[in-house]
Structure 1
Amino acid sequence: MRSKVIIAIVVILVASSFLYLEARQSKLISSSQETVLLIPAITNNATAIGNQYYWYPLTFIRGNEASLIASPFMWNVEEANGYSLVTYNRTGFYVLVNLTNVKKTAPGTPVLGYPGLMYGAEEWFPFENRTYEVSWLPLPEILGQTPNFTSTVKYALFLYRGSITDFSYDIWLTPQPGTNVSSITKGDLEVMFWMYYTENLSRAPYYQYAGSITLTDYINGTKTPISWNVWVLNVSGGGWTLVVFTPKIPLYSGEFEIPVGIALKQLSVILESKAGWKDSILHYYLDAIQVGMEINNQNGVAVGGYHLYSWEISE
């Protein structure tokens, strides 16, 4: 009798295991139609090193369904000893900034550059190039016609000297497709989502507080409604407009999922009601999405970076 009970239990456990695996496989198959893993990719190795001779080299990372372009992009460094390194291998995307004796191009700006990745089309400096994209998010695309996509990154930051201004998305929108834009100017829009930050924009000059929105984010896999403050910097003259989203809960390391598509569409209402925009950005083209870190020096020294273990976008 006892042996029959044991056999019955084993049969149930085996059957349950098959059902679980079948359900998981079914879920993976269905999710694979909607989710694209940008990092890790299928490229084995890719590296670009910026130094005082040239701060803007590019390297290309190829995936199964899309590609990325990486750059060390130290746009605000006039002179420095050392390097800014971006590299990809099977452990993910890795950035190391190691600079001394830094002299900035714009001394009052609290960043040295934005080493990171780009998905989409930027025909302006420094990328002057485009990636190949997934079928449901081909960029440039009119914002109002894009799906309500989410973007998820798993990362770890590190810092030895200097300061991390932010780890963020940097997203570009223009009235004309990015493939036709050779430089960013008045009327164009840069939108940043600072997942981690140290700069207090309430004390930064020229930034206008435009309210807050609550987004349903996921932190380390847990559904977490987060309130984001929205800041607008309308640059005078021929400059473009910068919008920065800052969460009440910045994340130094971990997994962060943001409903970027929904947030960008909600931003259209904020800009019209709080920042005096006359045209809806729903008619703008979403050109490119970047992931990277803005780092600053202290007494001429900046040593830090990050490890991006994964980046995925979901429809």
Structure 2
Amino acid sequence: MNNNYNGGSQTITVTPTGFAITARTGSAPTDGAPLAYPAVYLGCHYGNCSPSSTLPLQIGEIISATSSISYTYPADAGDVYDASYDIWMDPNPKTTGVNQQELMIWFTEQGGVQPISYSYDPQGNAIPIATVTIDGVSWNVYRGNNGANNVVSYVAVDPIATLTDFELLDFIDDVMIRTADFQEPVTDAWYLTSVQAGFEPWNGGVGLTVNSFDATVN
């Protein structure tokens, strides 16, 4: 999906296993929403469901949910973006509209963009609530709300371009811990509705590429 929603224009080239941003105009301040979220996905996104997907599926019924992702990042120092892998969950088997919980996994970021957080330092940097190791990778964890849904973000301490056969349930289990004090915490009774991999550009981004994406939920 091209998913260009916050100004400027964007062109992507779709491949059998992913996509690349081939043209991009516009810019947005880094303290606000990105220009777009071009992505590939498994599951349902605003009423569009991927072929043969088993999602939505109740989390407690999932035996395994594995994924592999390979990114390419351009070398332009002026680009501002993150490489974001999104997992969406809701108390209901929703196929349209906004889900209540977003789980963001940032494989890298450039240009000083910050994850959504309830707490920021005087310099405007998001303050992590924890650092965890999941699938052998160290992640800083942040909690916040974007005005439409709750967000828990996992930002790689060191940039990652490729991660193979990682278990999504490990992240979901951690989100259950992070949302335990929410009015509606994520539980096994909730539904996994979609898994998405792409980029959030604020400026530039030509050459950002998802080389390959795969997700299997059983």
The TM-score, its normalising length taken from structure 2, stands at 0.81
C-alpha displacement at 1:306, in angstroms? 2.1
Structure 2 residue identity aligned to 1:192: M
Equivalent of 1:291, from 184, 197, 204? 197
Which structure has more relative contact order (CA 8 Å, sep 6+)? It is: 2
Corresponding residue for 2:150? Answer: 241
Asked whether the 8 Å contact 1:206–1:233 carries over to 2, the reply is no
Cα offset, 1:176, TM superposition: 1.0
In the alignment, which of 253, 256, 263 is matched to residue 171 of structure 2? 263
Distance in structure 1 (CA, Å) of the matches to 2:183 and 2:125? 17
Q: Which runs of 4+ in 1 moved over 6 A?
A: none
1:262 counterpart SS class: helix
Alignment map for 1:1-315 (pairs within 5 Å): 71-77=1-7, 80=8, 83-89=9-15, 92-99=18-25, 102=26, 108-109=31-32, 111-122=34-45, 124=46, 128-133=47-52, 138-160=54-76, 162-179=78-95, 182-184=96-98, 188-198=100-110, 199-201=113-115, 203=121, 209-216=128-135, 225-235=136-146, 239-251=148-160, 253=161, 255-257=162-164, 258-272=166-180, 275-297=181-203, 302-313=204-215
Q: 2-side partners of 1:259 and 1:84: how far apart? A: 32
- The count of residues paired between Structure 1 and Structure 2 equals 209
Write the distance in 2 (CA, Å) between the matches of 1:233 and 1:191: 11
State the distance in 2 between where 1:206 and 1:120 align. 33
Is the CA contact (8 Å cut-off) linking 1:139 and 1:288 kept in structure 2? yes
Task: Supply the AA of the counterpart residue of 1:151.
Answer: S
1:232 maps to amino acid: R
Aligned-pair CA distance for 1:84: 1.4
Aligned CA-pair RMSD? 2.8
Deviation at 1:190, TM superposition (A): 1.0
Gaps of 5+ in 1: 1-70, 217-224
Contact 1:74 1:113 in 2 (8 A): yes
Q: Is the 8 A contact 1:175 1:285 kept in 2?
A: yes
Bigger Cα Rg: 1
Paired position in structure 2 for 1:62: none
Tell me how far apart the structure 2 counterparts of residues 312 and 303 of structure 1 sit (CA, whole Å).
23
Distance change in 2, residues 1:130/1:261 (3 Å): same
Identity percentage of aligned residues? 22
**Counterparts of 1:259 and 1:226, CA distance in 2:** 12
Hey, what's the Cα distance between the residues in 2 that align with 1:93 and 1:311?
10
Offset of 1:207 from its aligned partner? 5.7
Instruction: Return the offset for 1:287.
Output: 0.5
- Deviation of the 1:205 alpha carbon: 6.1
Deviation of residue 194 (structure 1)? 0.5
Uncovered stretches (5+) of structure 2, i.e. residues with no partner: none
> Shift of residue 276 of structure 1?
3.2
What is the rounded CA distance, in whole Å, between the counterparts of 1:121 and 1:90 in structure 2?
19
Q: Matches of 1:93 and 1:119 in 2, distance apart? A: 15
Query: Aligned partners of 1:132 and 1:283: how far apart in 2?
Result: 24
Contact preservation (8 Å) 2:44, 2:55: yes
The one-character-per-residue Cα deviations of 1:61-93 (angstroms, maximum 9, x if unpaired) are xxxxxxxxxx2111111xx3xx41222235853
Structure 2 distance, partners of 1:167, 1:132, is 24
